[in-house]
Structure 1
Amino acid sequence: MIGLLWTASVETRYFLRRYMPSNIVLDLIRTRQGLKWGVPAMLLAAPYLMVAYWCTTVIENGGPGWVHLIVLVCIWNAFKMILIGPVSVALLVGARVRERSARRQHQQSNTELAGSTAQVGRTIH
């Protein structure tokens, strides 16, 4: 029974990860090229919150109870979009620090290599 529940939860996660628009956007933002779009992606929370508000008005006016699920999903997606802004900034800063240190190490190794080649050339002549 636990194995069946585990399998169902894993398959649900894979389905949601592949086909839900908010998860696709978040996966694209988490790439190195997409990190710069994290803060503008926070604006995508507004449509989710508007849909949640609209659904709550439908519920208050006698709409079906299953619309509560849409409200929950919209609020959850809005929180994800709001949180991706600061997370992407932190990831971008970390990536730039790693790139800068790699660039410095590469320049230092090239400088040391050029210096040792010049010394070898002096001893041969």
Structure 2
Amino acid sequence: MVANEVKELAQETARATEDVTARVAAIEGDTTRAVTAIAAITARIGQVNDYQTAIAATVEQQAATTAEMAGNIAEVASGRRDIAEGIGVVSGAVDGTRQSVTVSHRAADELNATARRLTGLVGRFRV
């Protein structure tokens, strides 16, 4: 009878050992799958980080371009003001020239009238 009990105990121990071995194998499989999943997640996080870095660089580049455009617009506006001031100066010079031409024209008319009178007077004194 003791031999029978020892035999049953040995069989039970063998079954328990197989069960523990199966459970350890299952845990190892689960661990392998978990490690693979974690590696995939880590790779995906790296990709997301790369995307964020690229997006940040693009945003910085767009900000720099926008700032440059704003500077160019300000420069164009300043140039436009300078041109408007230049046109004002030229317009003033044209007005001054026109007034001078008008005065010169009047003086020429008066000189012409004086020359005619002198010609008339000289014509009377002929010998």
Which has the higher Rg, Structure 1 or Structure 2? 2
TM-score, normalization by structure 1:
0.42
Structure with bigger helix share is: 2
Ranked by relative contact order (alpha carbons within 8 Å, sequence separation 6 or more), the top structure is 1
